[in-house]
Amino acid sequence: MSALAAILRSTLLRNRELTLELARREVMERYAGAALGSIWAVLTPLLTMGIYVGLFGFVFPTRFGTTGSPWLGAALILSGLVPWITVADCAVRAPSVLLAHRALVRQVVFPIEVLPAKSAIACLVPQGVGTVVGLAIALSTAGPSPMLALLPVLWIVQIALMLGLMLLLATLGVWLRDLREIMAFLANVGLYIAPILLLPQVIDALPRPAQWLIMANPFSHMVWCYHDAVVLQSFAHPWSWLVFPAFAACALALGARLFTRLKPAMGEAL
């Protein structure tokens, strides 16, 4: 826990302004030179969500409950798709975070823990855009619910998970140079082994081994928590509210511990 506390003190207290400024620059640099510039930070998640919701909510619709409303299915898809896109983007970018800043990592005085932290913050842009769209659809179909008050809690848990993944994968990426490609492949596969595009009726019709695979995927529990809070408006998956925070806490603790232990060797490895 001392390793995690030291990283949090550095990123959230001593170097908070540096972390936020580097996160802002990363978002701007992603779209530097593009004709629309940083507008793509909003357009990209909107287009991605539009394609998935259009295909799986309307072109290949699945009945949701007894209403048969495709908009309820769209709200369910969006409530899980938005956090998944954010976490997947974080996991894919993480292995190259330290590799892309070799000069800073080699500087003894630079707090390199801000590099994973700023990238985790930069990955939250799609989350903000998608949350607005998802909430608008959910409120117009399912209506308001007290469960929506739990969204800030889910965001905090998700940010902890993303920071943990960033620390863990950025550290491993220093020595495993193929890790980015591996994570990109796993991010594509993960979309189909989590209850994101598969609505409840589809999952219930799957063979038992496939259902067990989805339940064993820790990211499924993140998605189910968002389903409960945004669309289902109840604790329909009570175990997920225990598994998701526990998974995030383990990822954060493991990432902080590995990062702190291997930090002295990073400069030489790069």
pLDDT tens digits, one per residue of 236-246: 999 999 999 99
Q: How far apart are CA 115 and CA 132, in angstroms?
A: 28
Cα angle 228, 184, 270 (rounded to 5 degrees) comes to 120
Q: What is the pLDDT of residue 116?
A: 92
Q: What is the pLDDT of residue 137?
A: 76
DSSP 8-state class, residue 97: T
Length of the chain measured in residues: 270
Backbone angles phi, psi at 74, to 5 degrees: -65, -40
Taking only the tens place, the pLDDT of each residue in 77-101 is: 888 888 998 999 999 999 999 998 8
Handedness of CA 131, 137, 142, 143 (dihedral sign): positive
- Residue 189's contacts (CB-CB under 8 Å, 6 or more residues apart) are none
Mean pLDDT of 136-145: 76
Mean pLDDT of 61-76: 60
Secondary structure class of 124 (helix, strand, coil):
coil
Q: What is the pLDDT of residue 64?
A: 42
CB neighbours of residue 227 within 10 Å: 23
Which ranges constitute the DSSP H helices of the chain?
A: 2-8, 16-30, 40-53, 70-93, 102-106, 114-122, 125-141, 151-175, 179-190, 200-205, 208-216, 218-227, 240-269
Which ranges constitute the DSSP H helices of 94-207?
A: 102-106, 114-122, 125-141, 151-175, 179-190, 200-205
Burial of residue 29 (number of CB atoms within 10 Å: 0-12, 13-18, 19+): exposed
Residue identified by tokens 């999952």 is 203
Taking only the tens place, the pLDDT of each residue in 106-135 is: 887 888 999 999 999 988 887 887 788 777
Domains: count for the chain: 1
* Spatial contact of 166 and 92, defined as CB atoms under 8 Å apart: no
* Spatial contact of 83 and 226, defined as CB atoms under 8 Å apart: yes
pTM, 2 dp: 0.89
Query: Residue 134's domain spans which residues?
Result: 2-269
Q: How far apart are CA 183 and CA 186, in angstroms?
A: 5
**pLDDT band per the 50, 70, 90 thresholds, residue 213:** very high
Q: How far apart are CA 130 and CA 43, in angstroms?
A: 10
**pLDDT band per the 50, 70, 90 thresholds, residue 42:** low
- Residue 98's contacts (CB-CB under 8 Å, 6 or more residues apart) are 105, 112, 115, 116, 170, 171, 173, 174, 266, 270
Q: What is the pLDDT of residue 132?
A: 80
Residue identified by tokens 């991010």 is 187
